[in-house]
Chain A
Amino acid sequence: MAAIVEYFKNIPLHMDYDGQARAEKLSRIIISLFGIVGLFWGYIIQEFSQTIYILGAGFVMAAIITVPAWPMYQRKPLEWQKPQSEVSAKTKKKK
């Protein structure tokens, strides 16, 4: 049981900043594209419900592609400085 919990805790859920920007852009492109295609298709066959279903498919696709933190959104992690072992006396005084 503990192993399962540990497994789920270790699933990465966080994207780096660049990944977040790309995920947002990609989700908007996917949903807009499906919406436009759905509008034209619905107009051609004169069924507005089909437009909404196609938009729903776009939502599902965008959710699969951009909601989980796939590895492609974790390629540019921030370069943090190494933790410093000693804090100088000067900065301590200032605080």
Chain B
Amino acid sequence: MHTFLTRGNAILAYTLSVSACLTFCCFLSTVFNNYKTEASIKTVKIFVKNVPDYSASREKNDLGFLTFNVQTDLTSLFNWNVKQLFIYAIAEYETDYNSINQIILWDKIILRGDNAVLDFKNLNTKYYFWDDGNGLRGNKNISLYLSWNVVPNAGLLPSVNAIGRHNFAFPSEYTTFRV
């Protein structure tokens, strides 16, 4: 503390240490929060087609087409340690090849301050619902659910599954017309 610059340096360093402590307190205040909540997701239209997957093997694979509704209120998930939510819809099912398949069909970022009461009707999927074979046609038990990452200022990055799933079945015939 004997010169002008060392005093400036000392208080700057101390400020940074204090800010690290405050950030840690912020993390501690939210570390035990439960980010689970209810979300309802329902399919409207369901088709399945059998078309070549040019992005992979060029063999004909099953491609599912969905439209769906999403309804949920995520306002309660926000607090002073949440910058944004990254929500995504997962389809989970079983085929002869794989005991578990998980495909992300849709996602959305909700920033803090955005409207977190979601009510979407007839959403199209954002990403292709490709199966790696012919596991979609006639599949009776596809489970569709929402999931989210909670992006914090400091601390853990929880990945949470919503409470509530929607089970649906694909038709047993391929659709040939354009959709």
Contacts and interface: CB of A to CB of B under 8 A. Distances in A.
Interface residues of B, number: 24
Interface string A17-49: 000110110011001100100110011001110
Contact of B11 (A13, A20, A51, A66): A66
Contacts of A59: 11-12, 15
B7 A55 contact: no
Main secondary structure of the interface of B (DSSP, over half): helix
Given A27-B10, A42-B80, A67-B7, A48 B153 contact: yes
- Which residue, B8, B11, B14, has most C-beta atoms of chain A within 10 A? B11
B80 A66 contact: no
Main secondary structure of the interface of A (DSSP, over half): helix
B13 to A, nearest CB: 10
Contacts of A46: 78-80
Interface stretch (B19-27, B98-106, B125-133): B19-27
A35 B1 contact: no
Nearest to A45: B80
Contact of A63 (B8, B21, B22, B78): B8
Interface of A: 13-15, 20-21, 23-24, 27-28, 31-32, 35, 38-39, 42-43, 46-48, 51-52, 55-56, 58-59, 62-63, 66-69
7 contacts: A24-B10, A31-B18, A35-B22, A46-B80, A55-B22, A62-B11, A66-B7
